[in-house]
Structure 1
Amino acid sequence: MNEMFSQEELVLPQCKYEYLDHTADVQLHSWGDSLKEAFEQCGIAMFAYMTEIETVEIKESAEIEAIGHDIESLLFHFLDELLFLFSCEPYLICSKVTITEFMCEGEEFKIKCKCYGEEFTLGKHPQGTEVKAITYSAMQIVNEPDKNRFELFVIIDI
């Protein structure tokens, strides 16, 4: 089913992530002009590890929510929800994630996110590496607004 999207929804964000070597897994490193953007980039980095993200068109969308008891658990649950989105039929691979609600203060840690992409299809989407799980191992969140520094480091189990 093709949905109608606005021009703004079809524009992909600039790449602000990289992959760092890790013993048996891979570490996602993302950054942004805000913590929210760093979270979005981390989600895209995970999808881009599963396929060549340039091959993913925006044809469908889905919404997810994640809740945590602190910032680390929020990041874990956010990525876990994105992985779940890909793991359920139809397998939705996303080329863009837009966080529409980002609560990260006091005791409220919540994300609402709109995900854009299409069903993963072998032949169209080169098969990258399967992501088995998100981990807390060596997770780092750099949130230094006074230095305009927002970075995430997350190890994913492959």
Structure 2
Amino acid sequence: MDDEFTDDDYIIPTVKYEYLDHPADIQLHSWGGSLEEAFEQCAIAMFNYMSPIDDVEILQKYDIESEGHDLDSLLYNYLDELLFMFSAEPFLIAKKIKITEFDKTNYRIKATAFGEEFSLDKHQQGTEIKAITYSAMKIIEPPASDNFEVFVIVDI
């Protein structure tokens, strides 16, 4: 974990996600001007669902890496790695995610999560996300548009 920050690390992106009803779970829907932004927004949607991130301060940052064999598995592994970061050491709840490397050819992501250690004394407990699923996962990459979308159902 690196504790040195730049001014850009504190700039919070505009919210570009929503929650869609699903019979037993919840579906995260995010979008952005690039696939990277849609992935970042999906991760923030996940954290915000587990605990509202309005009160989260950017006090720590944590780097993660994930790989896949296609875009779906890359998205799954990326979110799973972030969920693990929240559920185990360092117990970080992220207010911001910045993808620093996105390799769509070899299906690799490097990202930095910005936030602080989750504490019941400070943060509201939302709904526990038990796992990421492949169920109805969809990644929309329009060839001539800047409206990339991601749909992921999470097990609650």
Work out whether the TM-score is over 0.5: yes
After TM superposition, the structure 1 stretch with the greater mean CA deviation from structure 2, 83-92 or 66-75, is 83-92
For 1:131, the aligned partner's letter is I
Structure 2 residues not aligned, in runs of 5+: none
Matched, 1:13 2:21: no
Distance 1:2 1:70, change over 3 A: closer
Higher strand share: 1
Structure 1 residues not aligned, in runs of 5+: none
Percent sequence identity is: 58
Question: For residue 100 of structure 2, what is the aligned residue in structure 1?
Answer: 100
Deviations 1:3-28 (A, max 9, x none): 34211101111100000000010000
CA distance in 2, matches of 1:60, 1:38: 23
- Match for residue 130 of structure 1 among 97, 118, 128: 128
> Alpha-carbon deviation of 1:90?
3.4
CA distance in 2, matches of 1:57, 1:137: 33
For 2:70, the aligned partner's letter is D
Question: For residue 51 of structure 1, what is the aligned residue in structure 2?
Answer: 51
Give the structure-2-normalised TM-score. 0.96
Determine helix, strand or coil for the equivalent of 2:107. strand
Determine helix, strand or coil for the equivalent of 1:118. strand
For 2:79, the aligned partner's letter is L
For 1:76, the aligned partner's letter is Y
Across the aligned residues of Structure 1 and Structure 2, the Cα RMSD in angstroms comes to 1.4
Give the structure-1-normalised TM-score. 0.95
In the TM superposition, what are the counterparts of 1:39-118 in structure 2 within 5 Å? Answer: 39-105=39-105, 108-118=106-116
CA distance in 2, matches of 1:99, 1:5: 15
Count of aligned positions: 156
For 1:125, the aligned partner's letter is H
> Alpha-carbon deviation of 1:2?
9.4
